[in-house]
Amino acid sequence: MRLILALLLSLAAVQVQANDAELRRAFEARFPGAKVVSVAKTPLPGVYEIVADGNQLAYVDEKAEFLLMGEIIDLKSRRNLTREKIDELTRIQFDTLPLQNAIKFVKGDGKRLLAVFSDPDCPYCKKLEPELTKLDNVTIYIFPFPIASLHPDAGQRAKQIWCSKDRAQAWLDLMLKGKQPAKATGCKNPVDDNIALGQKLGVSGTPTLVFANGKRVPGYISADRIEALLKDTSK
């Protein structure tokens, strides 16, 4: 009996693998250039979760003939399963960040941690900066991350800030007061390394916030929202 059960389980596993392989091929055929990273069943009968390269998440039927748009929410537990999966896919291991390449701000006891990829010419980054000043008991690491395709002068400006005598003050002067940094750029700086890091991590816009638990939040958010997320990471 045990042998029969083991054989049945083995056959079932092979069938699942075969179905996954067929679904991968069907999806990639319908989206030329896409590379499927993983296939998984969802709690919805007949609906499968597809993760493609670039952390792209999609829901399809078992033959990839239909694409479902939107989020899956478990109404019983009130869990947003789609959001949880995206958080998992985009999580950044905080202790692997090269913090020496960031401008450091310590407020209060500095126990809580926050990293921000920020472009010195980005309007939403400038909108975020006053919100960051409202936080306390936090250490904030600002990674200068200029996006040349949007702000051609941001790279030069980021290097000027880094090469300033007081780079933290130079950053605040620009972001809060619009005061341009001194033109000195001859010092060794990590701006190009930060650009490469952001690209490796899939940071595609600024600001992008990274919390101590690895949660990534793209775009401007208020101080109250940041505070709530900081509390979540300390649990």
**Tens-digit pLDDT profile for residues 178-224:** 999 988 767 999 999 999 999 999 998 999 999 999 999 999 999 99
8 vs 22, which has greater pLDDT? 22
68-125 confidence digits (pLDDT tens): 989 999 999 999 999 899 888 889 999 999 999 999 999 999 999 999 999 999 999 9
Q: What kind of architecture, by CATH, is found in domain 2-90?
A: Roll (3.10)
Q: Is the dihedral of CA 117, 120, 125, 131 positive or negative?
A: positive
Delimit the domains of the chain by residue range: 2-90, 94-233
What percentage of residues in the chain have a pLDDT greater than 70? 91
Q: Which CATH number fits domain 94-233: 3.40.640.10, 3.30.70.240, 1.10.150.20, 3.40.30.10?
A: 3.40.30.10
How do beta strands 47-52 and 208-211 pair?
Answer: unpaired
Q: What is the pLDDT of residue 2?
A: 56
Which pLDDT value is given to residue 1? 53
Residue 15 has pLDDT above 50, yes or no: no
